[in-house]
């Protein structure tokens, strides 16, 4: 059955279609009902069925492929490579699960994981899944304040961290950030389990609270922890994503629906069969890392390459060398990662034997034509764009080469994948836009398996954030899109105040609140501006309080430092402008779109509501003079 017939059946006959796909995973108890959508916008998949993510990712493969590589953890930062078979993975996960149980962690308890791309991060995730605990992985680049917000929301019983990570040869101590976060948080866990890598020998230690992972692992190496069978709709993990309010949203994922969606995607989208290899260059702290560094490949019986290091370290051929060595069939990266390589000699693309590599998938931000051309020409491989969100958990738009490869249109992620009935509608009227016209990308409920089930402990925010934008009950992606006459979708950028920095979603409100903590700052507005490398970067415009005599350059640098301190380096402003006033409407609303337009020399749209046209002219002159900190990148 080709794409059109399969997709049509997935949306018109969802219970029949997904009931068949459910056979791709193991169930302890078969589902009684495939779909319950009696309480929209909520829906429940595979109701009554009991299963377990760890069992499907590890245990069920032991007989057929116990000696096959499951995880290859490569760190070019430390020079260490660990090749871990399914049997060895089973042993490590059981040991880690036994540690969790000894520390009082059980079904439904939360565990925050703050680690780099190392094998122990995977062990910790799978161990949580094994015992029915809910993990929440926080990207290791986030600062202490950002970590504290997530701890307060999740209220974990345990925090697992590494002593440090590394980036470009520079040691990034994690434990001091954890200590700072726990001083700030209102809901500190009872214990911190520390994986020592020997990177921070002077690490501070809190007696009784902090525990060394190594001796506990030795103690439990022969443990055999039974699997906790969970009803399909119980939570598996939380993954926090930026919101426009400054408070992160805890995207909650289920168990059964997620497992089935990933199993389907591994074959139909990524064209991977058991025993084949995928190199996914994401971090376990992001949605792609969860789905295609860890759970997806393991559920599919594949080998996953987990990489810690720069795309250019030790040289720009490292990704291709790994593809050659482990005979990767599929690679999954981001346009930003490829743009970094694009600055290097294209000869690196031809240095290694890539005969096993068939597909290169890219996601996280729109793929520009020059990057697409450079990669396809240099490698001779088919490059497949795809679009999804933290909320969807797996691609919502993609070509599906494992099923039926349609012609590639550079710049388009293609067509809706299974279960996604998508439309492009007018933001004001909700009416469908004709082909070629820009509108908001929406999904008709029910959302397919694998998507978020709610926001952690906040059903009302789930309704409001995703289904409260139109009269009709529709999931708003909050992305602009166009669909062409052939049905291909093109993503044009965000409709809200969230910017996409190298595939990392950042709320402009979060950055504004960080800058506003400086006593010298009166008002602040942050907008996302185009960047050749990262897709978007933050630009800061701020006014100072009356009486502040400090040099604007010093204050601007302090703003930059404060953002990095509170949110991490990923949120570092590209440029900071200190100005006399900010453009506002007569009702007092900041005209951020006007700031963005001035930065990018585009039409700011209707300015009839502008209170003081002089403010806009001042901004224009400030931009022409250049920023007080950073460098204009438009």
Pick one of 3.40.1690.10, 2.70.98.70, 3.40.50.1950, 3.40.50.12780 as the CATH number of 3-403+420-462. Answer: 3.40.50.12780
- Neighbour count for residue 85 (Cβ, 10 Å): 18
Total-model pTM:
0.84
Q: Which residue has the higher pLDDT, 156 or 494?
A: 156
- DSSP structural state of residue 114: E
Q: Above 60 in pLDDT, residue 552?
A: yes
What confidence tens digit (pLDDT) does each residue in 36-83 have?
A: 999 999 999 999 999 999 999 999 999 999 999 999 999 999 999 999
Q: Above 90 in pLDDT, residue 297?
A: yes
What confidence tens digit (pLDDT) does each residue in 416-431 have?
A: 999 999 999 998 899 9
**Cα–Cα dist 486/336, whole Å:** 28
The architecture that CATH gives domain 498-630 is 2-Layer Sandwich (3.30)
Domain ranges in the chain are 3-403+420-462, 498-630
Q: Which residue has the higher pLDDT, 504 or 176?
A: 176
Is the Cβ–Cβ distance between 540 and 526 less than 8 Å?
A: yes
**Cα–Cα dist 216/269, whole Å:** 40
What confidence tens digit (pLDDT) does each residue in 492-547 have?
A: 877 766 787 877 777 777 788 789 889 888 888 899 988 888 888 999 999 887 78
DSSP string, 43-55: -EEEET-EE-HHH
Residue 90 has which token pair?
């089973």
- Report the sign of the C-alpha dihedral through residues 26, 30, 36, 42, in that order: negative
């Amino acid at each position: 059955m080709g794409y059109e017939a399969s997709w049509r059946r997935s949306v018109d006959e969802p219970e029949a279609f997904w009931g068949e796909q459910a056979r791709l995973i193991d169930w302890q108890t078969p589902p009684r009902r495939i779909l319950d959508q009696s309480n929209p916008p909520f829906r429940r998949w595979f109701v009554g069925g009991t299963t377990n993510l760890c069992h499907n990712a590890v245990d069920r493969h032991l007989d057929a492929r116990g000696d096959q590589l499951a995880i290859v953890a490569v760190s070019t930062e430390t020079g260490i490579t660990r090749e871990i078979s399914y049997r060895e993975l089973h042993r490590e996960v059981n040991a880690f699960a036994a540690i969790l149980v000894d520390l009082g962690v059980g079904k439904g308890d939360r565990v925050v994981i703050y680690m780099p791309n190392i094998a122990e991060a995977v062990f910790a995730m799978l161990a949580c899944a094994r015992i029915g605990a809910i993990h929440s992985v926080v990207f290791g680049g986030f600062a202490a304040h950002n970590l504290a917000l997530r701890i307060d929301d999740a209220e974990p019983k345990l925090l697992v961290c590494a002593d440090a990570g590394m980036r470009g040869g520079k040691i990034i101590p994690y434990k001091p950030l954890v200590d700072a976060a726990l001083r700030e948080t209102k809901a500190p866990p009872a214990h911190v389990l520390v994986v020592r890598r020997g990177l921070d020998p002077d690490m501070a230690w809190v007696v009784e609270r902090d525990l060394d992972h190594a001796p506990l692992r030795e103690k439990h190496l022969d443990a055999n922890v039974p699997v906790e069978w969970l009803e399909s709709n119980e939570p598996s993990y939380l993954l926090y994503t930026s919101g426009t309010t400054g408070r992160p949203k805890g995207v909650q994922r289920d168990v059964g629906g997620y497992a089935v969606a990933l199993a389907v995607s591994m074959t139909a989208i990524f064209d991977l069969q058991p025993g084949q290899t995928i190199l996914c260059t994401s971090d376990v702290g992001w949605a792609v890392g969860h789905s295609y560094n860890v759970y997806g490949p393991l559920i599919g019986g594949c080998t996953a390459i987990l990489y810690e290091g720069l795309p250019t370290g030790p040289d720009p051929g490292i990704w291709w060398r790994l593809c050659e060595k482990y005979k990767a069939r599929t690679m999954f990266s981001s346009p930003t990662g490829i743009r970094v390589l694009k600055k290097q000699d294209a000869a690196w693309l031809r240095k290694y034997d890539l005969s096993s590599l068939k597909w290169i998938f890219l996601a996280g931000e729109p793929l520009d034509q020059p990057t697409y051309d450079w990669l396809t020409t240099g490698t001779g491989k088919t490059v497949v764009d795809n679009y999804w969100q933290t909320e969807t958990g797996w691609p919502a738009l993609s070509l599906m080469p494992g099923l039926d490869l349609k012609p590639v249109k550079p710049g388009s992620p293609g067509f809706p994948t299974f279960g996604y009935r998508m439309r492009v509608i007018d933001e004001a009227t909700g009416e469908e836009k004709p082909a070629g016209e820009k509108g908001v990308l929406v999904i008709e409920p029910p959302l397919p398996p694998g998507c978020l089930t709610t926001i952690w402990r906040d059903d009302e925010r789930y309704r409001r954030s995703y289904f409260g934008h139109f009269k009709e009950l529709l999931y708003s992606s909050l992305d602009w899109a166009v669909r062409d006459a052939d049905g291909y979708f093109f993503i044009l950028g965000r409709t809200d105040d969230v910017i996409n920095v190298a595939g990392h979603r950042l709320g402009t409100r979060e950055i504004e609140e960080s800058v506003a903590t400086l006593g010298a700052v009166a008002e602040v507005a942050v907008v996302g501006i185009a960047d050749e490398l990262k897709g978007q970067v933050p630009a800061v415009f701020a006014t100072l309080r009356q009486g502040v005599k400090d040099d604007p350059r010093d204050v601007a640098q302090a703003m930059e430092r404060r953002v990095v301190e509170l949110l991490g380096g990923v949120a570092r402003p590209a440029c900071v402008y200190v100005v006399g006033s900010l453009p506002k409407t007569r009702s007092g609303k900041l005209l951020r779109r006007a700031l963005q337009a001035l930065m990018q020399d585009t039409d700011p749209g209707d300015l009839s509501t502008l209170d003081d046209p002089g403010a806009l002219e001042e901004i224009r002159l400030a931009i022409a003079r250049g920023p007080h900190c950073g460098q204009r990148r438009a």
